[in-house]
Amino acid sequence: MCWRPGEWNPHDLLFVGDLDNPLTGSRRCRHPLCDSPTEGPTYCGSCNIDYRASKLTETEFDQTFVPRRNRRFHARPERCVVPACGRDGIKGQLCHSHYSVWRSHVRRTYGHDARISRYAAEREAWAISQEPFPGLPLCAVRGCRSEESLPTHLCYAHRNLWAACARESGRDSSKDLARWTETRVPFLLQNEFSLVPLEETTRLELLYALQKRDARGQVLRPTQVRKIVKLFVGIPSVALAVGATPGPSDTTCTATQSLIKEVKRDITRGLDAYRGIDETTKPVWDLRALDTPLPARTRTGFRVREGEIDFTPILQPWLREVAMRWARTTSPGSSALRDRLLACTIASRALATRRAGSDPAGLGFADMTAVVNEFRVSVRRDGKPRSNDSRARLLKLFTELLEFGRIEGVLDDLSPRFVLHTNEHRIKRDKVDEDNIGKALPESVVAQLDKHVDLIGVGMTYGSMPTDCIRAMFRTVYVLLRDTGRRPNEIGALDLGCLEYDGGEYQLIWDNTKARRLRRRLPLDRDTVSAVKEWTSVRERLDLPSRTLPFLFPAITDNAATGHLTTGNIGAAIRTWADSIPEIHSEELGADGAPLPFERSLIYPYAFRHTFCQRYADAGMPQHVLQDLMDHKSADTTAAYYKVSIKMKREAINTIKSLTTDRFGTPAPMRSSTAYEMRSVAVAFGNCIEPTNVKAGGKACPIRFQCAGCGSYRPDPSYLPAVEEHIRALKADREVAAAAGAAEFVIRNLDDQIAAFQAVRENQKEKLASMPDEMRHEVEEASKVLRKLRAGASKGAVSLGMPAFGPPGVVA
């Protein structure tokens, strides 16, 4: 079957790309009257020269300029103006033969010094009276479309090239000319390439690789192929010339480097398939050559880039074989495979220093100890030490691989003494830093970022998008990260119609791709909505690829992995922006009292999700509401997003413990922080000093949580929001009881509880109102800290309803 009929000429070994074929990376000149090929939506070489010399705008140039055809930029010139002449018009629209006759006529008529160009007006009348010449054969160079010029059977241009070559080499025989002609390429346009200079086998290999590209639907750029042809000249076979084939380092063009890698990969894969070699038996796997590709990481909804799996860093053949068997058998994801290979590489380094490292039957306890010690000192690629948790996890992956090998029968010869000893080969876990306040950015830092938001996107490039549009896009991305707390990939993948107006308020429609919960809704404030609408108006003016049209933030090109903005682009924009801000102060003061610089590496896209959660937690939002706002399935996950340090906790308790009262408002301060903490677990709206209830963690109240009437009740200002919420719940219960026709004592009990809790609330408010402003602010801040601690510690609200009775062992 012929490859690319109409474009590839197997006789001339010439490819002439169809400018209307989307798989050919050549287009017509952007000038409406020019059909010359070029790369991309630009002017061709001839029109570009005239455009720069004209000093006109592109619109004016397109409307006024008339392109001229010439041999340099067009496949074939127009015919000679002499009627019926079969030759090409080269000089003054005349063929070479008629031009010589015309030049002689002008000099005979007007003198030997006459300038021929002055008499162009008389040329047409003269041409009518001339005898036509028959057409000439084409140039002897394969694929050349110009007429030959006797006696060399070459066109004028190739004849001049041959003359220069003959002068330099001193060889001018007919045999030398024939050999020179066989390897010479024609003059090529932007959409053409010739395989004439290549050896026969190399030519077939390159054609095979180009056909594989077509099968994958990849764009073929003739100018890049021409560069590869130059590099492959003189090579008898790409597949067999191991180490002698030019590589990516032989060119500075990144696109050509990529094409060289791809061509060599396809040729090697084709040879392996011909020989019957399985890709998974080689030490380096090409993921695209696998019959069943390994599943890639899909956390962001798309596959990672295809590449290679290199097992060669595993030095021991037996260990490499079990790792390859594991990869073939389990088809792991890219992350799991990467971590397993890393674990094997670390173990391999240790075994390489052991005498029996290459002999699995000779390994023993000491060899396992050496392996574990290597894991204990392993470092990351940047040279920084790994955490103990990471080292322990990698060691576990290695031992699991050994167990897999034993089960599969690959490691039948492995010594039974080469095993992990629980006590001797243990890597201690990292100690938890209880003073770590999490990954949230301080609000003061966010305020500084807001002041310099005009710097975001400055100096960045994003495909062909104008600079002002780039800045507007990333400014909107930052606003959404800051105000919504959504994950970076969720922001990048927002639909164009992500705003929904309902009930007088706007909501953000977004997809929780991590948990596979789609079409989620989040309320937005007015400023955030304005930022999105402003970017939408800018986006409407852009000429975007069709694939990016459904998304609010388009991809950089139509050939990107996804049609929307990626997390990599968002991260690069945020990091570049943070580095460009002159000063960012932290909340910590130096020895001179001036604020210390903030660590800019802590400013990254996902940190704004932690900041969003921390902001609402500090405001005292209940944990179940915060959980819903973060769209977490588990409350424990939400609690991990905001933290309070031990120091803050201790200071908050010291501030509040002296403000504890009894149910009548009489001061009843706690003697110590420990006593306060013990009693704060009792009920949801105040401390309790009743021993049985405290011991049971607040689940054994003898009077069924009617705290406002209990002598053991000890409220303080930090419980005010909880007390007010409980009063509202009691009022709702009273209305329900009245509507249900409940007995009078039930209604009276609810009225008494409401009055008692209202008295508690008023006592606490009066106490706060009587404080100085500075002290009241301190108490309010301490109350926020304590409420946040309780929200994180509680797994659910304390039930205040009537207890359920039933047979023992039966749960109501």
Mean pLDDT of 439-463: 90
CB of 779 within 8 A of CB of 716? no
Q: What is the pLDDT of residue 246?
A: 63
Q: What is the pLDDT of residue 71?
A: 47
CB of 557 within 8 A of CB of 547? no
Q: Among 184-193, 240-249, 490-499, whose mean pLDDT is lowest? A: 240-249
Mean pLDDT of 650-657: 74
User: How many whole angstroms separate alpha carbon 53 and alpha carbon 287?
Assistant: 51
Residue 570 has pLDDT above 90, yes or no: yes
Mean pLDDT of 467-488: 93
Mean pLDDT of 445-466: 90
Pairwise pLDDT comparison (593 vs 57), residue with the higher score? 57
Q: DSSP character for 661?
A: B
Q: Among 394-408, 464-478, 507-521, 699-713, whose mean pLDDT is lowest? A: 699-713
Mean pLDDT of 735-762: 90
Residue 453 has pLDDT above 90, yes or no: yes
Q: What is the pLDDT of residue 517?
A: 87
Q: What is the pLDDT of residue 682?
A: 55
Q: What is the pLDDT of residue 96?
A: 83
User: How many whole angstroms separate alpha carbon 223 and alpha carbon 203?
Assistant: 17
Mean pLDDT of 196-216: 89
Q: Among 110-119, 296-305, 346-355, 567-576, whose mean pLDDT is lowest? A: 296-305
Q: What is the pLDDT of residue 643?
A: 62
Pairwise pLDDT comparison (114 vs 447), residue with the higher score? 447
Mean pLDDT of 37-49: 84
Average pLDDT, whole number, for the chain? 82
Residue 642 has pLDDT above 80, yes or no: no
User: How many whole angstroms separate alpha carbon 20 and alpha carbon 38?
Assistant: 12
Count of other CB atoms within 10 angstroms of residue 101? 17
Q: What is the pLDDT of residue 74?
A: 47
Q: Among 172-186, 223-237, 576-590, 755-769, whose mean pLDDT is lowest? A: 172-186
User: pLDDT confidence of 250, banded at 50, 70, 90?
Assistant: low
User: How many whole angstroms separate alpha carbon 344 and alpha carbon 197?
Assistant: 47
Q: What is the pLDDT of residue 297?
A: 43
User: pLDDT confidence of 89, banded at 50, 70, 90?
Assistant: confident
Q: Among 129-138, 436-445, 456-465, 623-632, whose mean pLDDT is lowest? A: 436-445
User: How many whole angstroms separate alpha carbon 149 and alpha carbon 542?
Assistant: 52
Count of other CB atoms within 10 angstroms of residue 27? 18
User: How many whole angstroms separate alpha carbon 68 and alpha carbon 703?
Assistant: 101
Q: DSSP character for 198?
A: S
361-396 tens-digit pLDDT:
999 999 999 999 999 999 888 888 888 888 999 999
User: pLDDT confidence of 576, banded at 50, 70, 90?
Assistant: very high
Listed in sequence order, the residues at least 6 apart from 617 whose beta carbon sits closer than 8 Å to its beta carbon are 626, 641, 642, 788, 791
- Per the DSSP assignment, residues forming a β-bridge with 112 are none
Q: Among 159-173, 616-630, 740-754, 761-775, whose mean pLDDT is lowest? A: 616-630
Pairwise pLDDT comparison (63 vs 431), residue with the higher score? 63
Tell me if residue 14 falls in helix, strand or coil.
strand
Mean pLDDT of 724-731: 89
Q: Among 303-307, 426-430, 442-446, 488-492, whose mean pLDDT is lowest? A: 303-307
Residue 269 has pLDDT above 90, yes or no: no
User: pLDDT confidence of 678, banded at 50, 70, 90?
Assistant: low
User: How many whole angstroms separate alpha carbon 642 and alpha carbon 618?
Assistant: 9
Residue 474 has pLDDT above 90, yes or no: yes
Pairwise pLDDT comparison (389 vs 685), residue with the higher score? 389
Mean pLDDT of 428-432: 63
Find, among 459, 550, 451, 533, the residue nearest to 496 by Cα: 550
Count of other CB atoms within 10 angstroms of residue 415? 17
% of the chain residues with pLDDT over 90? 20
% of the chain residues with pLDDT over 70? 86
Mean pLDDT of 452-466: 88
Q: What is the pLDDT of residue 584?
A: 92
Residue 114 has pLDDT above 70, yes or no: yes
Residue 657 has pLDDT above 80, yes or no: no
User: pLDDT confidence of 785, banded at 50, 70, 90?
Assistant: confident
- DSSP letters, 742-767, are --HHHHHHHHHHHHHHHHHHHHHHHH
Residue 644 has pLDDT above 70, yes or no: no
Q: What is the pLDDT of residue 243?
A: 54
Listed in sequence order, the residues at least 6 apart from 730 whose beta carbon sits closer than 8 Å to its beta carbon are 750, 753, 754, 757
Q: Among 71-80, 448-457, 508-517, whose mean pLDDT is lowest? A: 71-80
Q: What is the pLDDT of residue 451?
A: 93
The tokens describing 467, both together, are 């600079």
318-328 tens-digit pLDDT:
999 999 888 88
User: How many whole angstroms separate alpha carbon 229 and alpha carbon 473?
Assistant: 42
User: How many whole angstroms separate alpha carbon 37 and alpha carbon 22?
Assistant: 14
User: pLDDT confidence of 793, banded at 50, 70, 90?
Assistant: low
Mean pLDDT of 155-175: 83
Q: What is the pLDDT of residue 251?
A: 67
Q: Which domains does the chain have, with CATH numbers?
A: 192-277 (no CATH), 281-408 (no CATH), 443-612 (1.10.443.10), 649-793 (no CATH)
Enclosing H/E stretch for 626: helix 623-630
Residue 480 has pLDDT above 90, yes or no: yes
Residue 595 has pLDDT above 90, yes or no: no
- CA torsion sign, 272 to 277 to 278 to 280? negative
Tell me if residue 431 falls in helix, strand or coil.
coil
CB of 499 within 8 A of CB of 509? yes
Alpha-carbon separation of residue 448 from 308, 392, 442, 578, 630 (angstroms) = 44, 40, 10, 10, 25
Tell me if residue 713 falls in helix, strand or coil.
strand
